[in-house]
Amino acid sequence: MDIGELAAHDFEQIQILRDDAAGMLAFVAVHDTRLGPAFGGIRRWRYRHPGAALADALRLAEAMTLKCAAAGIPGGGAKVVLVDAPSLDRGAAYRRIGDFVEQMNGRYFTGPDVGTETQDLEEVARRTSFVARPDEIGNLAEPTAVGVFAGLRAVGDRLGCDGVRGLHVLVQGLGAVGRRLAQLLVGAGARVTVCDLDRDLVEQVRTELGVEVVEPGLLLSITADVWAPCALGGVVHDLSLEHLKVRAIAGAANNVLAAPAHGAALFQRGILYAPDFVMNAGALIHGALNHLEGAPPEPARIEAIGARVGSILDASIAEGIAPELVAQRLARDELDKRPREPYFPARPR
Ligand code: NAI
């Protein structure tokens, strides 16, 4: 993203956190808080260069704004990206992030993301209470899986099935979300084929659930109803598009489309695409509402993802535009209802 694009994307705050003694470089992006405090986890990852880490923080923070707005959460989007390196003093780095979050005084509530584990969140929690701690909030993969499952039922209905009953779903990735999703699907009568790079994990899930298995490299050679990406993002690209033998794509992974044009390409080919930031909002809904309302949300708040996905797919067909664009419009309409004023919590006197 160059400077011109940055201005067009309207970020409220971009900050560098640096501590040479700890080998630490992190980028904070706060995108848009007009609906309420910013939510977004801490990602720790290795990058080719610092610019790539900053670009990731920007992209992820903006996606969190859209995710909040589309899910009806009175909050906005932010992200911390911590550049991983062999010399990183991990504990010191997470404590420094905790100090930063504390200084934000409630303008930003953080939590887990790729590369951030329970012990890291404990370090953050030593410095601030504005963090989702697994021991307090539970495993956020559970509401994510429940939300994805609700979305898949809506997709199944649109493919002429009775929800997921009899639907053939390829679950790619059997981590915290994918494994739970596979359990829910099998329990509801879906036909499930799974894959993961971890062969032991695949074997465990095959034994536990009696599902079919495919080698990761052969996933796209399978003819199925739905591909549920629950591993990495960027999986719908020029090459994979050519090989697709599924009728729909709907999963948990963030940024499933390598580029916006791939959403349009799926639409032209008649492959239903359930936008990722709507499908995988379960963790955000659970974590944000728990923070804002002081108690975990009613299950119906997560289940509502199904109705939302359904109405986006229906509007996409009715209007002849890709579902990703419908979902972005839904989010931007919510944002446009409020004046562009950043959220700053009232300071206690
Ligand atoms: P995880 O790290 O627990 O599991 C990912 C799994 O994917 C691992 O078992 C890994 O071996 C496997 N994998 C990696 N590359 C693969 C490949 N090429 N083919 C097959 N398997 C592969 O991650 P988690 O928490 O289950 O999240 C899954 C996805 O959902 C991620 O993209 C994450 O960003 C997204 N997500 C997760 C949320 C959560 O609450 N955990 C919330 C929102 C999004």
Residues 77-120 pLDDT 10s: 999 999 999 999 999 999 999 999 999 999 999 999 989 999 99
d(CA 88, CA 298): 40
pLDDT of residue 226: 98
d(CA 121, CA 130): 11
Q: Note whether 232 and 255 are within 8 A (CB).
A: no
337 an active-site residue?
A: no
Question: Global pTM?
Answer: 0.95
Q: What percent of the chain has pLDDT over 90?
A: 92
What is the tally of helices (H) and strands (E) in the chain?
A: 14, 12
Average pLDDT of the chain to the nearest whole number: 95
User: Which residues share a beta bridge with 212?
Assistant: 193
Name the helix (H) or strand (E) containing 112. none
Q: CB of 111 closer than 6 A to ligand 1? A: no
Ligand 1 centroid – CA 182 distance (Å)? 13
Give the atom of ligand 1 at the shortest distance from the alpha carbon of 145: 40
Give the atom of ligand 1 at the shortest distance from the alpha carbon of 235: 18
Ligand 1 centroid – CA 114 distance (Å)? 9
Mutation test residue for ligand 1: of 42, 144, 214, 215, the one with most atoms within 8 Å of CB: 144
pLDDT of residue 3: 59
Structural domains of the chain sorted by starting position, each given as residue range(s) with its CATH number in brackets = 3-66+74-131 (3.40.50.10860), 141-328 (3.40.50.720)
Give the atom of ligand 1 at the shortest distance from the alpha carbon of 114: 34
d(CA 28, CA 7): 16
Q: CB of 143 closer than 6 A to ligand 1? A: no
